[in-house]
Structure 1
């Protein structure tokens, strides 16, 4: 028995390319850059070496994801490896190993879009302010009620994934 599963997280290297097959199936192709850390033999310092992984998604999810993914978006990908080989017009043999994506998790927030279209983590989070609505003129003629207490939602730093159960 063999297991063909891949989990990577990184940044998109280019804007996704949405195409359709002759049969009408949507195909979304994009690249993800992931780093590998190695120790430099001369300096002894750790250095990051990028790896570029081609990814592809098929079907209706491809069309939906094309609207949200942009160059620079940070994503976590789960899928399986697929090997392809072909011969070019000039007779050269080519091959490629790519990830056929089953699941995409967005690791960047949607509201922090950077200049090149991707999403990056915000540098400072602003807490929204919550207050009771101002009383209207008709309300001032009625007996005064105690002000309503509005609870603020939990901090945006707390996510469902952080809960251990």
Structure 2
């Protein structure tokens, strides 16, 4: 039977994405995402919290999107799988790193590229939608479902 290797993370970026380009010209993004758990300690009654940091790598178009839209603190939903890769340090010693290879990236928390000074008061005044006004006249809103 085949195994399942699936990771789902919802958390916040700890730093700005690190974007690199591979020799073939494709983009690679490395991000670090924090997830936190909290609970009440049974012995002391104190609120406890532990934060776990996850290394995640994205390739190609998703890597480009990371570089364009994500920043430190961005909230993200990520699906991926655990991958372990081998590399050598400066002394020639083999090292291993386990990270999440991202397959799905969804940005959460709204748009962060809009200036916060823009508010609803600066937006266009609300005009009634002609279609919704016609629907009200036809009794469309009286339908019980």
Query: Structure 1 length as normaliser, TM-score?
Result: 0.65
Unaligned 5+ runs, structure 2: 133-145
**Is the partner of 2:8 in helix, strand or coil?**
strand
Tell which has more relative contact order, 1 or 2 (C-alpha 8 A, sep 6+). 2
Larger Rg: 1
Deviations 1:92-138 (A, max 9, x none): 44322111111111111115769xxxxxxx9xx8486413xxxxxxx
Instruction: Flag the structure with higher strand content.
Output: 2
CA RMSD between the two structures: 2.7
1:75 deviation in Å? 0.5
Question: Contact 2:30–2:58 (CA<8 Å) still a contact in 1?
Answer: yes
Question: Contact 1:38–1:49 (CA<8 Å) still a contact in 2?
Answer: no
Distance 1:22 1:59, change over 3 A: same
**Is the partner of 1:109 in helix, strand or coil?**
coil
**Aligned equivalents of 1:45, 1:86: Cα separation in 2:** 42
**Aligned equivalents of 2:47, 2:113: Cα separation in 1:** 30
Question: Contact 1:77–1:105 (CA<8 Å) still a contact in 2?
Answer: yes
Query: Structure 2 length as normaliser, TM-score?
Result: 0.73
Q: Which moved more, 1:38-47 or 1:16-25?
A: 38-47
* Length, aligned pairs only: 126
Unaligned 5+ runs, structure 1: 115-121, 132-148, 154-165
Query: Which residue pairs with 1:163 in the alignment?
Result: none
Query: Which residue pairs with 2:15 in the alignment?
Result: 14
